[in-house]
Homo-oligomer: A and B are copies of this chain.
Amino acid sequence: MTGSHKPESGSDKPDFDPDFRARLHALLAWRRDVRRFRREPLPPGTIERLVGLAHLAPSVGLSQPWRFVLVETPARRAAVRANFVRCNAAALAAQAPERARHYARLKLAGLDAAPCQLAVFADRATAQGHGLGRHTMPQTLDYSAVMAAHTLWLAARAEGVGMGWVSILDPAAVCAALEVPGEWHFIGYFCLGYAETADTVPALETAGWEERRPPQEFLIRR
């Protein structure tokens, strides 16, 4: 697949062969936005290891703006859950009636069962990186934190750990509940744990909410 180009220079470069690529593609296909978790906890050290791997994500100007908050105390988890319930009701009300009936049946959060809950933020005030690459596009700090969360997601799935992104939340309420610094911008709230099932089909497609469309529809030439 890589053609007959000359090899890169660089010592100890790993060999990413066709077998690895096939399994990487399987990882991408089997990664799911998990909503149904078993309650058993992750083994000690799991989340710390996954956060360490997330640290290998790209970041604008090497700013590493990602901030991970492991949410452990019952009161804070309850505050996030209550905020989800409130926002979910508002989202339900915003849907067309026939869609709203469908929406109400979707189980949209694993907040009650997931043993591990992680909030991700971007520190928009970080001095690290000395501003490089973000002068015209400051949102690249947020994007860097998104890629760290996505890296964690893939690394988790490779360990058999499922992850789900909860976005039906009011960012200000989450920041308040978790008492994070004011310059931290909320990116997402993630549930982690062992998934009840494994699948290559998104739950929203199985539930009839939406279908995936083929890649060629999303590539144009200029």
Contacts and interface: CB of A to CB of B under 8 A. Distances in A.
Interface of A: 1-3, 5-6, 8-10, 13-14, 16, 20-21, 23-31, 33, 38, 40, 42-43, 46, 48-49, 51-58, 60-64, 66-73, 76, 87, 90-91, 94-95, 99, 103, 106, 108, 119, 128-137, 139-140, 142-143, 146-147, 150-151, 153-155, 157-161, 165, 167-171, 178-180, 187-188, 194-199, 202, 204-205, 209-216, 218-222
A140 B119 CA distance: 15
Given A28-B151, A130-B99, A134-B167, A205 B5 contact: no
Nearest to A65: B218
B61 A204 contact: yes
Q: Which of A132, A136, A139, A161 has the most CB of B within 10 A?
A: A136
Contact of A48 (B26, B48, B178, B219): B219
B52 A215 contact: yes
Nearest to A137: B167
Given A6-B194, A143-B146, 11 more contacts: A3-B46, A5-B40, A16-B27, A24-B158, A60-B167, A62-B205, A119-B222, A128-B213, A129-B209, A136-B170, A140-B188
Contacts of A73: 222
Given A28-B53, A199-B10, A70 B221 contact: yes
Contact of A132 (B46, B76, B103, B143): B103
B10 A198 contact: yes
